[in-house]
A and B are shown apart, each in its own frame.
Chain A
Amino acid sequence: MINQPYPISCKVNGQTITADVSPEMRLLDFLRYELDLTGAKEVCGEGECGACTVVLNGKTVNSCLILAVEVNGSKITTIEGLSDVGNLNQMQEAFVDHHSVQCGYCIPGMVLSGEQIIKDHEKPSRDTIKEDLSGNICRCTGYQKIVDAIESVSETS
């Protein structure tokens, strides 16, 4: 089948990107293999696990369920876009302080979902944090310390 390349232009972590992409290429593959932004991970590839989470126009999404052509004209933030020249942001610091990370594979998605929770709720309860983290799966930590980290940011912001 012929894949007619499609021109896209978008902002990724504040930088304007233009590219010709195959209509079949997923956003996740575009970020990882064309832009070398490997923070978003592929685990399930079907939107169940949240390891590929990125922020699209201010909202968390699964980049494995989006085609690169769909983000034409959009703004994307990946985990790489959170820190300012190597300085971790408050959410990232909180994950370090609370020892929320073991293998680390799910963490970029967890941090971005944490950011979304702080944005959506003024003072989220632990139950709200858990409910809104339900699109992210962690197989090591048991979630406790991840929830602790997000809760600590919500208490100080």
Chain B
Amino acid sequence: MIYYAPTTLKEFNKYCQAHDNISILAGGTDILPRWQSDSSIKPKVLVDIKKMNELNSIQYSDKEIIIGALTTIQELKIDPIIQQEFSALSQSAREFAGVQIRHRATIGGNICNASPAGDLIPSLYVYNAVIEIAGSKGKKRISIQKFITGVGQTALKKDEIVINIILPKSNEKSIFYKLGLRQSMAISVINFAIAYELDGNGRWKSLKIAAGSVAPTVASLTTFANALCDGNNVDESIQLVDNDISPIDDIRASSNYRRSVLKNVLKFTIKEIYVG
């Protein structure tokens, strides 16, 4: 294995063009355990991006928050603006692993892993986050929904890297819920994020729900959310959740359990925020 630690995007591009079989290292909290269990997946070339300072900041403006890809989960968790205006993301960072991993794992790494159980991803879906990508052909932006294409699959090409995660500001409130097999360090059995706004009469002005660990990618529960916005009652509409999910049986839970528990917890959560 050859190790490189570029300090600029230009240098990064140079290494990408010079080598095949490159693996990008950010926090390393997912890739190192994977090497442990299967050493055949170790790459020929490891490009450690942590010295690229341009990926390491949170910028605030009136319209949006721009989160650098190397922002750690602990930095997200303690950021006062994110706590106030993007509370689902803040909550998901709080429930993310333990302190030692939060000091190391990055938001860019979490989305590039594209795990169906990735704890930050449902919040990014309901905020309509935009992913900024840099490659040898320049920079571009795509939505989080288009960025994640399957289990562990993203739209990222060989010479590209995620540089920023952009959250547009809105008047919506948001919440995050995670069910793990224990309170800490657990991979989600299911998780979800809700972003919503109520009008002066306490009716839905907007409602977006995204759930993790119930489909190959995080699932937007649009059928259910739209039914609620159209004035339908939660108890009658909850079955619509089934249309937007396709959970599997795995070591953590069965498909049927995931369906039931998601619907149950969603129902309670919606009733808590919507008195309507």
Residues of A bordering B, CB below 8 Å: 1, 3-4, 6, 22-24, 26, 45-48, 50, 53, 56, 59-62, 64-67, 69-70, 72, 113, 116, 131-132, 134-136
A–B pairs, 15, beta carbons within 8 Å:
A1-B42, A3-B1, A6-B3, A24-B42, A26-B32, A45-B33, A47-B29, A47-B97, A47-B101, A48-B185, A50-B98, A65-B33, A69-B3, A116-B99, A135-B98
B131 to A: closest C-beta gap in Å: 25
Q: Quick check: is B50 within 8 A (CB to CB) of the other chain?
A: yes
Cβ contact within 8 Å between A135 and B2:
no
In the complex, given contacts A23-B1, A50-B100, A69-B5, what are 6 additional A-B residue pairs having Cβ atoms less than 8 angstroms apart? A62-B101, A70-B25, A70-B50, A116-B99, A134-B99, A134-B183
Tell me which residues across on chain A come within 8 A of B28, comparing CB atoms: 65-67, 70
B23 to A: closest C-beta gap in Å: 11
Task: Out of A6, A23, A67, A134, name the residue touching B184 (CB < 8 Å).
Answer: A134
Cβ contact within 8 Å between B36 and A135:
no
User: A144 to B72, alpha carbons, bound, how many Å?
Assistant: 30
- Quick one: closest B residue to A26, CB to CB? B32
User: A132 to B100, alpha carbons, bound, how many Å?
Assistant: 9
Cβ contact within 8 Å between B42 and A47:
no
Residue tally, chain B, CB below 8 Å to A: 26
Cβ contact within 8 Å between A69 and B48:
yes
B49 to A: closest C-beta gap in Å: 11
Tell me which residues across on chain A come within 8 A of B259, comparing CB atoms: none
- Quick one: closest A residue to B182, CB to CB? A134
Task: Out of B29, B32, B33, B185, name the residue touching A134 (CB < 8 Å).
Answer: B185
Cβ contact within 8 Å between A62 and B184:
no
User: A24 to B74, alpha carbons, bound, how many Å?
Assistant: 26
* Chain A CB within 10 Å, residue with most, of B5, B42, B44, B98: B98
Tell me which residues across on chain B come within 8 A of A45, comparing CB atoms: 33, 36
Tell me which residues across on chain B come within 8 A of A24, comparing CB atoms: 1, 42
Task: Out of A1, A22, A65, name the residue touching B101 (CB < 8 Å).
Answer: A65
User: A22 to B44, alpha carbons, bound, how many Å?
Assistant: 13
Task: Out of B3, B33, B50, B74, name the residue touching A4 (CB < 8 Å).
Answer: B3
Q: Quick check: is B46 within 8 A (CB to CB) of the other chain?
A: yes
Q: Quick check: is B104 within 8 A (CB to CB) of the other chain?
A: yes
Task: Out of B1, B33, B46, name the residue touching A47 (CB < 8 Å).
Answer: B33
Q: Quick check: is B103 within 8 A (CB to CB) of the other chain?
A: yes
Within B71-124, which residues are at the interface with A (CB < 8 Å)? 74, 97-101, 103-104
User: A52 to B213, alpha carbons, bound, how many Å?
Assistant: 30
Tell me which residues across on chain B come within 8 A of A113, comparing CB atoms: 99-100
- Quick one: closest A residue to B33, CB to CB? A46
Cβ contact within 8 Å between B1 and A135:
no
Tell me which residues across on chain B come within 8 A of A134, comparing CB atoms: 98-99, 183-185
The 7 lowest CB-CB distance pairs between A and B, nearest first, are: A135-B98, A134-B184, A23-B3, A46-B33, A59-B103, A135-B100, A134-B98
Tell me which residues across on chain B come within 8 A of A65, comparing CB atoms: 28-29, 32-33, 101, 104
Do A62 and B100 contact each other (CB < 8 Å), given the known contacts A6-B3, A134-B184?
A: yes
B24 to A: closest C-beta gap in Å: 13
A92 to B: closest C-beta gap in Å: 19
User: A50 to B33, alpha carbons, bound, how many Å?
Assistant: 14
Cβ contact within 8 Å between B98 and A61:
no
Do A135 and B101 contact each other (CB < 8 Å), given the known contacts A4-B2, A23-B2, A72-B5?
A: yes
